[in-house]
Amino acid sequence: MNSIQSLKKKGGEKEMFGKRGLAGAVNVVDMVMGIVILVILIAAAAIPVIQDVLNNANITGIPATILSLIPVFLALLALISISKVF
């Protein structure tokens, strides 16, 4: 514990991880890989499963309309996450 405190006092943390700390250690390749995995999970797993559940459920009227928007919002989430990286 004392060695960590002495590093902070001497500025060793800034020298080791840069000005941004550990957040600066994440590079662009890691972010792109995360976004690709997110899009694959949303497009290949989440949206089809939710569509199947909504189609098999006996829901009508306004609740069906509201619940049918969930896949649209998931697709928007994927698009927003892509746009934030690029």
Taking the CB of residue 73, how many other CB atoms lie within 10 A of it? Answer: 8
Measured CA distances, 66 to 44, 52, 57, 61, 70 (Å): 22, 16, 14, 9, 8
Q: What percent of the chain has pLDDT over 90?
A: 52
pLDDT in tens, 47-69: 999 999 999 999 999 999 999 99
Query: What would the mean pLDDT of 16-30 be, rounded to a whole number?
Result: 65
> Has residue 41 got a pLDDT over 90?
yes
Supply the pLDDT for residue 86.
74
